[in-house]
Structure 1
Amino acid sequence: MSTIAFAGLGSMGLPMAKNLLAAGHRVRGIDLNPTALASLSEAGAESARDATDAARGADVLILMVVNAAQAEQVLFDDGALQALEEGGIVCLMATCPPAAVERIAERVGTAGRRFVDAPVSGGTAGAIAGTLTIMAACGRATFEAVQPVFEGMGQRIFHVGERAGQGATVKAVNQLLCGVHIAVVAEAFALAAKVGVELDVLLEIMGGSAASSWMLKDRGPRMLQAEPEVSSAVDIFVKDLGIVLEAGRDAKAALPIAAVAHQLFLATSGRGDGRADDSQVIRSYHALNGTTKNG
């Protein structure tokens, strides 16, 4: 059993923290939202006055925050890093640019603590079910030390490298593929809609052909709905594909298809649909082509 300080009790972080409690760990929450903190306390978490109090005596500090700036706020401005035990482990599990992860890791190491770059994939559903994919980059000994904690949150746990930033890069590759897949499904639907093909028929055909993909089967049906339930918002891919392009720039790797997909999500957000389900990137194609969801 580990004592874990958990920062970031949002739609993914809260169920992740609850799963750690269910796995037998001691958990202290860090969040500005009192409702989230109360929900975690009701599940059995220990109370803490602030980030410093939560991190004091903890074995592991998990950061499931929105971005690198929030991670730095908790670690360096709010005092959580200094409160963490010497040799304690900081796990950054949010999606962040690789270069930012490297900078944070260096500061954590200088302070005498260990760092794990461990972004996740699987969304809110995976966080609730405890089936997340975790992509960890750190020294092998540190990975083995934190693996029991990861097993409380995820099902597919990988050691992807020894250096901070490698986990973030693997997550960027994942988001590149996801974002491009969604955008290209929308593009294919847009062509069919332009000539009046019924998109529900097209979806049935493509779903059983070599052109099929997980994203086609998952997002395709939602593209045919006017206001689908939000699984992942358009603005998530505005952010994540922005991180992809930043990672490509830093690595001097050309990513032209990712750049086009990013522009389509950005255009969708710019028209006021940033909080819509990410399948609604198809609205940008309809706007370009003068079509509707059924042609």
Structure 2
Amino acid sequence: MQLGFVGLGAMGQPIVSRLLAQGHSVVVCDVNEAAVRTLVAKGATSAATPMEVASASETVLVSLPTPDSVRAVALGDKGLIHGTRMKRYVDLSTSGAKTMTEVATALHAKGVSSIDAPVSGGVGAAASGTLAIMVAGDRATFSALKDLLTTIGSRLTYVGEEVGHGQSLKLINNLLAATSLAAASEALVLGRRLGLGLDTMLEVINASSGRSFATEKIIPQTVPQRTFDFGFRTELMHKDVRLCLDEAENLQVSMWLGNSVKQVWSHAMTQGGGKKDFSAILHLFEAWNGVQLGKAANDDSGAAR
């Protein structure tokens, strides 16, 4: 299939690499010229603007960091909406239901069918084709693209006909992820102050009812060696939490815990942590309590730093 792809960041690059490896022709566009060159070397074709991508491809996928970037790529002066060939638009970003509905409505007026298909699983899953994908929109469009989406995701869920519902579900998922990571960081720091070792705590928690994706995947892969490189920036998690809470506020849904979690991630942003990996949220809890987990602590005894 001839595809277009705009947005070659941490998720976009491995997704396009996989599409190319599976035999698809892909026209790519991004402000990061180095990312474009990397994929051109693998067989992609470059385009200068999103409009050029949409003039070369019937199906265009985007993977972008913010609602504003999604709007600019889709609806801007040189956006996809001005292309001459695009018939199907797939948003893999996490941009929120409001933005998705706005873009889909504008594209529909141009004869373009849209689905939102936000992904979850991280960079490793993008590279291996094992992403979880939440798809919403026209069922016929979903059916036409199902094989393509299965190339990049092994867990494909059709959420429903209403565009934006995939986005809403992704935001709920990410609120839970942000909550569990913050809660796990706080609890493990307490354990350290009590004299417990990180390895021991994770072994017990992950065999017990306190386990979560944070304790099973994120923390074991980043904290013991202090790498903090899971593959998702703090500023993006903060954005997703904020978007989720905005949707709740618009519906007047009470979010007591959610708002507390939002304050934690907002504080991380005020401390200059936006560009850091989201696993580095642990640093806040360590600093507040004068302990450190992992390699720099030298042992597994749980002694305070």
1:87-98 alignment runs, 5 A limit: 88-98=87-97
Distance verdict in 2 for CA 1:223–1:129, change over 3 Å = same
| Contact 2:65 2:236 survives alignment (8 Å) | no
Aligned AA for 1:282? Answer: L
Q: Cα deviation per residue 1:106-142 (whole Å; 9 max; x = unaligned)?
A: 1111222111111111111111111111111011111
Instruction: Show the counterpart of 1:228.
Output: 228
Look up the match of 2:248: 248
1:266 aligns with 2:259: no
Partner of 1:285: 285
**Secondary structure of the residue that 1:28 maps to in structure 2?**
strand
Is residue 68–residue 100 contact of structure 1 (8 Å, CA) maintained in 2? yes
Q: Is the 8 A contact 1:120 1:134 kept in 2?
A: yes
Give the structure 2 partner of residue 198 of structure 1: 197
Against the structure 1 CA distance between its residues 92 and 229, is the aligned structure 2 distance closer, same or farther, given a 3 Å change threshold?
Answer: closer
How far is 1:269 from its partner? 3.0
Cα distance in 2 between the residues matched to 1:232 and 1:274: 10
Q: Do the aligned residues in 2 keep the contact of 1:235 with 1:274 (CA within 8 Å)?
A: yes
Partner Cα separation in structure 2 for residue 228 and residue 49 of structure 1: 34
Which residue of structure 1 lines up, in the alignment, with residue 101 of structure 2? 102
What is the percentage of aligned positions where both structures have the same residue?
Answer: 28
What pairs with 1:1-295 in structure 2 (closer than 5 Å)?
A: 2-77=1-76, 78-85=78-85, 88-221=87-220, 222-293=222-293, 294=302, 295=304
CA contact (8 A) 2:27 2:44 kept: yes
**Conserved in 2, the CA contact under 8 Å of 1:237 and 1:262?**
no
- Once superposed, what is the RMSD of the aligned Cα atoms? 2.0
Structure 1 residues without counterparts, runs of 5 or longer = none
| Distance across 2 between alignment mates of 1:151 and 1:282 | 34
Render the CA deviation track for 1:243-278: whole Å, top value 9, x for unaligned. 211121223222221221221122223223333332
Measure how far apart 1:12 and its partner are: 1.0
* Secondary structure in structure 2 of the residue aligned to 1:163: coil
Do 2:75 and 2:103's aligned partners in 1 also have CA atoms closer than 8 Å? Answer: no
1:186/1:223 contact within 8 Å kept: no
- AA matched with 2:177: C
How many residues were matched structurally? 293
Question: Separation in 1 of the partners of 2:206 and 2:239?
Answer: 29
Shift, 1:9, TM fit: 0.9
- Relative to 1, partners in 2 of residues 1:188 and 1:149: Cα closer, same or farther, differing over 3 Å? same
The question of whether the paired residues in 1 share the 8 Å contact of 2:10 and 2:231 is answered with no
Unaligned runs of 5+ in 2: 294-301
Q: Aligned AA for 1:45?
A: A
* Mapped partners of 2:13, 2:61: distance in 1: 12
CA contact (8 A) 1:99 1:250 kept: no
TM-score normalised by length of structure 1: 0.91
DSSP 3-state at the match of 1:6: strand
Q: Is the 8 A contact 2:29 2:46 kept in 1?
A: no
**1:237–1:252 CA distance, 2 compared to 1 (3 A):** same
Q: Deviations over 1:190-214 (max 9, x none)?
A: 3223333333322222222222223
How far the C-alpha of 1:226 sits from its partner, in A, is: 4.3
What letter is aligned with 1:139?
D
